[in-house]
Chains A and B, each alone.
Chain A
Amino acid sequence: MWKAVRTLTSRATTSQPRLRDVVIIGGGPAGLSLLAALKSSRVTRDLQCTLVEGGSLASVQNFASNPPEEYTNRVVSLTPKTIEFMQEKIGNWAYINEERVKVYDSIVAYDSQDSDSRISFDASAIGTGTLAAMCENINIQASLWERIQELNMTSDVPAEIMDNVKVEKIQSPVEFSASEALDELPDLLEVDPTDGMSELDWPIIHLSNGESLQARLLVGADGYNSPARKFAGIQSRGWMYDRFGVVATIKLCYEDYRSIGWQRFLTTGPLAILPLRDDNATIVWSSTPELSQLLLKVDPEIFPHLVNAAMTLEEVDLNYIYKLLEVDPSDKSVLGEIEWRLSKIKLLELDSKYPLPVRELVEGSRARFPLKMSHADTYVAPRVALIGDAAHTIHPLAGQGLNMGQTDVAHLMAALEKGAKRGMDVGSTLVLEEYYANAWPGNHVLLGVCDKLHKIFSTDFTPLVYLRGFGMKTLNSLGVVKDLMIKLVSGN
């Protein structure tokens, strides 16, 4: 009886939702990757897929034909494993603008409290020559876009991408109470697949353009505040770091032939300079809220010197300089202070132990975002799967965020392919559980390691400084262990 009423009222108020096999919320790298991977796989390419993105993808579409002159500030590090996945499984690597991808072969990380406490990872040790590659977010998105366009040309069931469309509400059609569920067992004969209002338990997604979709599988690739996760009632646990990541595109004095990624652990958070093509580089400067605000407003002429100072000088000098800049963000006297303190370091040391000096800041490339650690209790619920930032957010100090999203896509694809091959419903937990089982533990380890690294290095408590210095030096001299770590992280 109630069912009939509900059916009637729904029919009266809303239009029929369109049935789709997979609806992906979020057009970031994770969402687009999944869409491209679904359409590339022989097993899943006939699934009806829709991707919904709240923002505009115009810049992504234009990137291939008309890339921006300067590097954009959202740059990520791709591990060899991710690149391989993109080459062989998704097939979007062919569309990557490789002129804007920088392969680098070593990483040097060092402690601000003692510049001799350092550890260097070198790809030549594992014989690949590639430790990781720096690539703009938008470059990845654009290549995925191109790949999806290519697949759509030949596909019987083309993928559908809707941008500038927001998800207004996600609703479950079967919201009866527990007692009701006991009273009336669903009658399978009543299920009418052509009628969206029937006993299907597929979630209904109401969109801002008035349309609504009903999905066999809803994939949340919708970031930290994931509506899909909230809909599924999955808890996400973690904490804010009370730190912001400041990103910027910069130019070095000249091209660094060494192609090293540098990272210095300051007590305010790590600062990394990562190489891009030619004399370009990108920085990620994790800093306290006050410092990050200061970094955004410092005179663009002073900023490059400030980065140089933060990569080389002692923290006492940095704190003094911050104090001067706090009073006047364009106080040119700090240049003299920086030059004087730099002159105390031997040239030979400056050359071999520190990154190249920064020459200039690309105008308007500075931005900041809050850093947090979060991990969802599970990635799957009936008819829902979470990937990328919707499932986990990580401190950027190891450059693993995007790569974890790609691992999610790989594991989810494996589970969906298996389910599809066996003729199962790809939205059922029976299929999805495998994805969660394979992806969650690895992510949890990475999240934990990065979280602890952040904590160990965000103090200048002397005993801990000695201890971590000892640890770093020891690790640095243990080649075997280091190679193992590189293999683990780069996925070889």
Chain B
Amino acid sequence: MESGKLHYKDVNSTFNVDKPYKSRSKPNYPGHVPLNAFEKLLMMAGSSIGSYLHPERNEFIVGLGESTAFTPVLRRLQRQMLSDPVGRQILRERPRITSESLDLDYLRLLPKNTIGSAYIQWLDREGVSPDTRVPVRYIDDEELAYIYQRYRECHDFYHAITGLPIIIEGEIAVKVLEFTNIGIPMLGLGGLFAPLRLRPKQRERLYGIYYPWAFKSGLNSKPLINVYWEKILEQDINEFRRDMGIEQPPDLRELRRKQKKLPEPERENAN
């Protein structure tokens, strides 16, 4: 009775028993799907096999990314953002990057050397739209979920400032850059295992040119997560790269075209 308990047997007690293994905890934010530890493990295993076999399928990559985004890793990212004025501003204002939040037609009017222009050129060249990013669902903490969302939505900007295309080699190179800079484990896994599926020619290009570049730029540059892209669309892209400490890598599409043209017979062999 002291602790507020009744001292007769509650007739409904049999119906009120908690069944923790069956009940699912309440979502922490709209769209959140709370998973228990076993489910997380299962998702990690399933999505890593899936994304190795079918890297082009988005749901595997999304699942792998979220299930391997362990809390300490995201906390580190959170600390990185919280110790930077711009990072704090982003966390406070929670901007989202969509085709509505960005005026794409306005971007087309910007001078060629601006970040906004580079971004829209890249979108047009690769034929993608900012809306292709799915919302985060499996990360439990609300702020950490936003941070992951932010990383995911900024991914296209990393392509834009480096000029790397969305073909697999470009994706891998950007992933390695992101991993060394942002530190999300899935990116490292991608950098480690994805090249195994490639042809030797492609692998050589990655290991010889793009990995060294990605390590150098990723480790030397300031944290990319603390860039408020929406606010610097008018900034000069070269100036930005210099400020951040990112070098521009060789154009991958150009490089492929050149290498394809030159040694014709080799190409036959490779196929």
Interface residues of A (CB under 8 A from B): 314, 316-317, 319-320, 337, 340, 344
Contact = CB atoms under 8 A, between A and B. Distances in A.
5 contacts: A314-B82, A316-B82, A316-B83, A320-B82, A320-B88
B83 A340 contact: no
Contacts of A340: 92
Interface in B34-90: 78-79, 82-83, 88
Interface string B128-166: 000000000000000100000000000000000000000
A303 B78 CA distance: 26
Interface of B: 78-79, 82-83, 88, 92, 143
B143 A344 contact: yes
Contacts of A319: 83
A317 B82 contact: yes
Contact of A337 (B78, B79, B88): B88
Given A316-B78, A316-B83, 5 more contacts: A316-B79, A316-B82, A320-B88, A337-B88, A340-B92
Given A337-B88, A340-B92, A320 B83 contact: yes
A314 B141 CA distance: 15
B13 to A, nearest CB: 26
B34 to A, nearest CB: 16
Contacts of A317: 82
A72 B82 CA distance: 37
A181 B78 CA distance: 74
Q: Is the interface of B mostly helix, strand, loop or mixed?
A: helix
Contacts of A320: 82-83, 88
A337 B88 CA distance: 9
A340 B91 CA distance: 10
B82 to A, nearest CB: 5
B3 to A, nearest CB: 14
Contacts of B83: 316, 319-320
Contacts, number: 14
Contacts of A344: 143
Contacts of B143: 344
Chain A CB within 10 Å, residue with most, of B79, B82, B88: B82
Nearest to B82: A316
A314 B143 CA distance: 14
Nearest to A317: B82
A327 to B, nearest CB: 12
A319 B80 CA distance: 12
Nearest to A462: B72
Contacts of A337: 88
B95 to A, nearest CB: 16
Nearest to A337: B88
B223 to A, nearest CB: 13
A156 B88 CA distance: 73
A103 B220 CA distance: 56
Contacts of B92: 340
A340 B143 CA distance: 12
Contacts of B79: 314, 316
Nearest to B79: A316
B62 to A, nearest CB: 26
Contacts of A314: 79, 82
A450 B39 CA distance: 44
A320 B92 CA distance: 14
A470 to B, nearest CB: 16
Of listed A316, A317, A337, A344, residue having the most chain B CB within 10 A: A316
B250 to A, nearest CB: 38
B70 to A, nearest CB: 13
Contacts of B82: 314, 316-317, 320
A340 to B, nearest CB: 6
A316 B92 CA distance: 15
Contacts of A316: 78-79, 82-83
A303 B215 CA distance: 44
Nearest to A313: B82
Nearest to A315: B79
A314 B79 CA distance: 9
Contacts of B78: 316
A315 to B, nearest CB: 9
A31 to B, nearest CB: 48
A344 B142 CA distance: 9
A340 B88 CA distance: 10
A344 B78 CA distance: 13
A1 to B, nearest CB: 78
Nearest to B78: A316
10 closest Cβ pairs, A-B complex: A316-B79, A316-B82, A316-B83, A320-B83, A317-B82, A340-B92, A320-B82, A319-B83, A344-B143, A320-B88
B74 to A, nearest CB: 13
A316 B83 CA distance: 6
A379 to B, nearest CB: 47
A242 to B, nearest CB: 23
A487 to B, nearest CB: 25
Nearest to B84: A320
Contacts of B88: 320, 337
A453 B55 CA distance: 51
Nearest to A341: B82
Nearest to A320: B83
A320 B79 CA distance: 10
A477 B82 CA distance: 34
A337 B83 CA distance: 12
A463 to B, nearest CB: 12
B192 to A, nearest CB: 24
B44 to A, nearest CB: 22
A316 B81 CA distance: 9
Nearest to A324: B85
A36 to B, nearest CB: 44
Nearest to A344: B143
A462 to B, nearest CB: 8
The residue among B78, B83, B143 with the most chain A CB atoms within 10 A of its own CB is B83
A344 B83 CA distance: 16
A342 to B, nearest CB: 13
A464 to B, nearest CB: 15
